Every structure is written in structure tokens, then in C-alpha cells.
């Protein structure tokens, strides 16, 4: 009973003493065995090295749509962001004067065609009939002159009769030549016909010009695509050379990135990539490097890289911001160690703090590709080796107790 009372009376002293003994024992074990440290282990795994960059969506080219004539906008038939097809009307201009010009040009064509028909249906047949009549008159005048000349030689006709016969013959010959010229000029090789044909060609050209200008009054889509910019409204006076609409043609979709020039040596044409729009971060799609700009943007120390998207998702929009992981290298079965346990990883002589016989030891390593927070170990460590993270605060040669995460 006395012992129990003694222990109860000194219970606080006994508890403190037990605590000190326990703490001292724990410190002794810690000194002998070292602190417990969570370590990383070198394992075999697949490793993918990527270059991460952000950029935007765009088509390989854009089409600026404008007016080919000066005019006033009568109606804008589409909205920004609308998908259009080739030949679809986009803008209509005021066309009253253009329609009147077409009517006037058509009248000139009709007049020129009527002139051609007049030559072929009236003038040429009349000229041929006049030529036949003149030739008949010439034949009679020639016979009369021959008879009169014979009679004059035999003394049966006077000089006056012979002169009259000669005069009639000359007049008949002149009439034949005139009729022949009329037939020739009215024929397809004649001057009148050629002139009429020239006037008809000019009238048709003027009609084609007027019709083309009338067609220009309706501005249509040059190809399928999406209208991404609209800079025109009803009543606007437009002139050639001014972009009224901007069309992103349907077809290939590409991603345009700015890559840090330090990564230029890791980028190559044809490399695969995974991309996601910032508006849809959980929906990833495939892309492929298709273009690397040969020049460097000195102001940003970057190089422009373009990627083609073989199967663009429906939600992609022009100028949409995207994040891209370009796969620059892949190892399907290699030694991998988390980068948190690699020291001086960016320098020429990286090393790890390995666990050797319960102590921290410096081990130089040779690194390969890096990705997903890990690095490939080419030399200096074997599968199953343990490495101490940089943040553990352990010194070389210090005894530790390795603890797996």
C-alpha cells in the first residue's frame, strides 16, 4: 500500500521520466539508423517526351471578299459566323443603272444582228438581181454595138449611130461593175458585211461587259467556308479593294503555335501531338506537325510551328485558343526516375543522391528524354535503385532509413 501511495504521489515525475527515456531511445535509434526518408525507385516504364505550347486555330488561308464595282449596298444576306457554300449570294448592290445598261447593250446587239440579216436577206439578193440585170443589159449593148459597127463599115450606118451604140455599151459596162461591187460589199467578205459583223461583235462585247457588271452587283461566296468577319451594312457605299467579308474556307484546319527556340532542336515535321481547346479542356484531339518556320522571332525568342488537324472536332472555331503537347520522343521500356530526385538536371553533369548501405551517396547519371515529371536514366543507376528527392534535406554520407511512397 505504501508503494502504491508513493507512485501516486510521484506520478507526474514518473511520467516525465518515462517520456524522457522514450524520447532518448527514439533519438538514439534515429542517430543509429538515420531519419526516415521517402525515396523514389528507378523503375522500368514507358516514357513520352513532349513540348507543351499554346496557340490558336486557323485555316491555312483566309479569303477577303470585296466588291469589284463601286456601288451602294442594298442588302447584306449573311451574318458573321454563318457557314456558306460556293456561289451563295452574300451581298446585293443597287443595280438599276446596271440593268438599264444591259437593256441598252442588248438593244445595240439586236440592231447589229438586224443589220446582218438585212445584208444577207435583202441587200445581197437585191445586188445579185441588179448584177444579173446589168449583165443582161451589157450583153444587149454589146450586140447592138457589134451590129452598128458592122453596118458602119459597110456604109449603112451613120457615125452618130455608132457613137450612140458605143455610149450605151460603156454605160452598161459601168452598171455591171457597180452591181458587182454592190454584191461584193454585201457578201461575207465584203466591207459592208465585215463592218456590220464588227459592229455586232462590239455590241456583244458591250453586252457581256454590262451583264458582268450586273452580276458584280450580287457578291457571292467564292468557295465553301465560314464567314468570320463582316465589315459592311445596308446603305454602305463600297469600292473595289475594300474587304467587306472574310471567309475561312472549309477544308484543312491547322493550329499555329509559338515554340520557345530552345526547343527547336526537338521539333520535327510529322511529329504527333495531342491538343485541346481551352474552352473544352477535357476533349482532346490529334494533330501533326506540318510546318516549322525557318526564321526566329527575335522579339519573343520563339519559332512559329503549324500543326494540321486530320479530323477537327465540330466545336473548333477560328482563332480559338488551344494547348498542345507535341510528342518529340517515346521510349516504351526504359529506366525511369522522377525528376524530383534528379539534381542539376539542367546542367551538363546531373547526379542523384542514391541510397547505398543505408547512407546517402552521390551518383552521377546520364539522362535521356524527359516527360511527365520523370527522366530517362541511361547510365549511373540500375532498376530498383533508390534515390532521395532534392527536397528531403539529406546530406551526402548521412545515414537514412528509406521509406517507399
Domain chopping of the chain, boundaries: 48-58+252-403, 63-91+218-248, 97-215
CATH 1.10.287 assigned to 97-215: yes
Q: What per-residue string of b and e applies to 326-348 under the rule 16 or more CB within 10 Å gives b? A: bbbbebeebbbbbbbbbbebeee
Give the other-Cβ count within 10 Å of 231's Cβ: 15
Please give the CATH number for the structural domain made up of 63-91+218-248: 2.40.50.100
State the pLDDT at residue 402. 83
State the pLDDT at residue 276. 93
Closest CA to 259 of 175, 326, 338: 326
State the pLDDT at residue 102. 92
The residues, any chain, with a CB within 8 Å of residue 190's CB and separated by 6 or more, are 183, 184
The residues, any chain, with a CB within 8 Å of residue 252's CB and separated by 6 or more, are 59, 60, 308, 309
Rg (CA), the chain: 51
State the pLDDT at residue 138. 85
Could you tell me how far CA 215 lies from the centroid of its own chain?
A: 27
> Exposed, middle or buried, 2 (CB in 10 Å: 0-12/13-18/19+)?
exposed
Helix-helix angle 96-118:191-216, to 10 degrees: 160
Closest CA to 363 of 392, 339, 393, 341: 341
Give the other-Cβ count within 10 Å of 398's Cβ: 17
What's the pTM value of the predicted model, to 2 decimals?
0.57
Phi, psi of 390 (to 5 degrees): -60, -35
CATH level 3 topology of 48-58+252-403: Elongation Factor Tu (Ef-tu); domain 3 (2.40.30)
DSSP 8-state class, residue 39: -
Could you tell me how far CA 160 lies from the centroid of its own chain?
A: 96
State the pLDDT at residue 194. 85
Contact (Cβ atoms closer than 8 angstroms) between residue 349 and residue 363:
no
Per-residue pLDDT of the chain (405 residues; tens, 9 = 90+): 555 565 556 556 656 655 655 555 544 455 555 688 888 999 999 998 889 999 999 887 788 889 998 999 999 999 988 889 999 999 999 989 999 999 999 999 999 899 888 888 888 788 788 888 988 888 998 898 888 888 878 877 788 887 888 898 888 888 889 888 887 887 878 888 888 889 999 999 999 999 999 999 999 998 888 888 898 899 889 899 888 888 888 777 899 999 998 888 889 999 999 999 999 999 999 999 999 999 888 888 899 999 999 888 888 888 899 999 999 888 898 999 999 999 988 888 999 999 988 888 999 999 988 888 899 999 999 999 999 999 888 888 888 888 887
Q: Apex CA 14: angle with CA 10 and CA 20, to 5°?
A: 150
Q: What per-residue string of b and e applies to 131-163 under the rule 16 or more CB within 10 Å gives b? A: beebeebbeebeebbeebeeebeeeebeeebbe
State the pLDDT at residue 16. 62
Contact (Cβ atoms closer than 8 angstroms) between residue 392 and residue 57:
no
> Which residues sit opposite 366 in a β-bridge?
379
Amino acid at each position: 500500500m505504501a508503494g502504491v501511495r508513493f507512485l501516486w504521489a510521484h506520478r507526474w515525475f514518473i511520467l516525465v521520466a518515462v517520456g524522457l527515456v522514450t524520447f532518448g531511445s527514439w533519438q538514439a535509434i534515429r542517430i543509429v539508423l538515420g531519419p526516415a526518408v521517402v525515396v523514389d525507385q528507378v523503375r522500368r516504364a514507358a516514357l513520352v517526351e513532349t513540348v507543351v505550347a499554346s496557340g490558336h486555330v486557323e485555316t491555312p488561308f483566309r479569303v477577303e471578299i470585296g466588291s469589284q464595282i463601286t456601288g451602294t449596298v442594298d442588302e447584306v444576306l449573311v451574318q458573321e459566323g454563318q457557314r456558306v457554300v460556293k456561289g451563295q449570294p452574300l451581298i446585293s448592290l443597287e443595280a438599276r443603272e446596271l440593268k438599264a445598261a444591259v437593256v441598252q447593250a442588248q438593244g445595240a446587239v439586236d440592231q447589229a444582228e438586224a443589220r446582218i440579216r438585212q445584208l444577207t436577206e435583202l441587200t445581197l439578193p437585191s445586188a445579185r438581181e441588179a448584177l444579173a440585170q446589168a449583165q443582161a443589159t451589157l450583153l444587149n449593148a454589146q450586140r447592138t454595138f457589134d451590129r452598128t459597127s458592122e453596118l458602119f463599115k459597110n456604109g449603112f450606118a451613120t457615125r452618130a449611130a455608132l457613137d450612140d451604140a458605143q455610149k450605151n455599151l460603156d454605160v452598161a459596162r459601168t452598171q455591171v461593175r457597180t452591181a458587182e461591187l454592190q454584191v461584193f460589199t454585201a457578201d461575207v467578205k465584203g466591207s459592208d458585211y465585215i463592218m456590220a459583223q464588227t459592229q455586232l461583235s462590239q455590241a456583244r462585247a458591250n453586252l457581256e461587259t454590262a451583264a458582268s457588271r450586273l452580276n458584280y452587283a450580287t457578291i457571292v461566296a467564292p468557295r465553301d467556308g465560314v464567314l468570320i468577319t463582316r465589315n459592311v451594312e445596308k446603305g454602305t457605299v463600297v469600292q473595289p479593294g475594300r474587304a467587306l467579308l472574310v471567309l475561312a474556307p472549309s477544308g484543312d484546319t491547322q493550329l499555329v503555335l509559338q515554340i520557345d527556340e530552345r526547343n527547336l532542336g526537338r521539333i520535327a515535321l510529322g511529329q504527333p501531338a495531342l491538343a485541346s481547346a481551352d474552352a473544352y479542356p477535357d476533349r482532346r484531339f490529334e494533330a501533326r506537325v506540318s510546318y516549322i518556320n525557318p526564321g526566329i522571332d527575335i522579339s519573343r525568342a520563339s519559332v512559329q510551328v503549324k500543326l494540321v488537324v486530320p479530323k477537327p472536332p465540330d466545336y473548333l472555331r477560328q482563332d480559338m485558343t488551344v494547348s498542345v503537347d507535341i510528342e518529340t520522343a517515346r521510349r516504351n521500356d526504359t529506366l525511369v526516375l522522377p525528376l524530383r530526385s534528379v539534381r542539376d538536371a539542367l546542367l551538363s553533369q546531373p547526379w542523384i543522391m542514391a541510397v547505398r548501405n543505408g547512407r546517402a551517396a552521390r551518383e552521377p547519371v546520364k539522362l535521356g528524354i524527359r516527360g511527365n515529371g520523370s527522366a530517362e536514366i541511361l547510365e549511373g543507376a540500375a532498376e530498383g535503385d533508390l534515390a532521395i528527392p532534392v527536397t528531403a534535406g539529406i546530406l551526402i554520407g548521412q545515414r537514412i532509413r528509406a521509406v517507399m511512397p
